[in-house]
Amino acid sequence: MLDKQFWNGRRVLVTGHTGFKGSWLSILLLSLGADVMGYSKQPAAEPNMFNVCRLNALIPTVIGDIADNDLLRNTIQSFEPEVVIHMAAQPLVRESYINTLETYSVNIMGTVNLLEILKTSNHLKVILNVTTDKCYENKEWVWGYREVDALGGHDPYSASKACSDLITTSYRKSFFAERGIGVATVRAGNVIGGGDWSTDRLIPDSIKALIKGTKIIIRKPHAVRPWQHVLEPLFGYLLLAEKLYKDDHKYSGAWNFGPRDSDVISVENVVRKLSEKWGSGSFEIQNDIELHEATNLKLDCSKASIILDWTPVWEIDKALDKVVNWTTAWIEGKDMHTYTLSQINEYLMGRNKTN
């Protein structure tokens, strides 16, 4: 389990905290008693989880570009974070074909800018750079990628994240290891959960269609992805951060956080399961302009399982149940910060029983 005593009062800077994944992380950290500050652009979607869960009133927030050196430097110097979790990014594969320069600027130079500033931080103990499972050189094979496998990237997004990962390793070896600062990159599978209104993502697009009563549009029904509830990798990130704080030498490096093999399933299978749980829904395949996207993605998470004793708790069916339940609660006008906390507590209790 996470050490609540460790996180209580711990100063944590989260970049990209206004996004879907960043919002879930921020609520989890607040529930542990952490002193959280966020640095991010305005939420990209409307509605968005950040505002729906009232995080704008709960977390000191600096709205800015990760590449804005002066603003980011002033934020870090004034807050003096002990832990930095870097999530700020352009996160979409297809968007990277359209806004390629922005993707490289944010995902590569934004990371450089952050790490360059953190070189002079006096209170820093841990840096986590959240990259992606797509940072691996995809060979379309059936085996899961391990942390020692080659990085690469056909599309601009994947390439930018591979670069961000390599840059982080370089900074760790060149500047942070000698100061006893733990630095890790974390590579998660396809995360799902309530409160994701992002564009051009399967689950959010499917939920929008189900609410409207229209057909779900899918592009690659046979594409296989490692689906997992967003809380799975977030728990892993924080567990790793605790270890890094206490032993930077042992735990620095790259880490995969993905689902069990049984939850690595096709797009079509996920849509069918989601529609069944919603109680209605159908889909159609749209053959639009073909942009390269990997067909098979899978992670080998043996390292996290063996060294961190981390394993997934919620299988795909339960994760999809939680998406439907969260969305239903939002439609019914419930307090979504409280409801999100209830799902977090249920997840933590389930993990406690598993252990």
SS (H, E, C) 256-318: EECCCHHHEEEHHHHHHHHHHHHCCCCEEECCCCCCCCCCECCECCHHHHHHCCCCCCCCHHH
Global pTM reads 0.96
pLDDT tens by residue, 6-37: 999 999 999 999 999 999 999 999 999 999 99
pLDDT tens by residue, 29-61: 999 999 999 999 999 889 999 999 999 999 999
Do you find a cis peptide bond into 47, omega within 30 degrees of 0?
yes
% of the chain with per-residue pLDDT over 90: 90
Mean pLDDT of 210-228: 94
Question: Over 90: is that where the pLDDT of 287 sits?
Answer: no
Token pair recorded at residue 177: 């290891």
Domains by residue range for the chain, with CATH? 4-193+226-260+295-315+337-352 (3.40.50.720)
pLDDT tens by residue, 303-324: 999 999 999 999 999 999 999 9
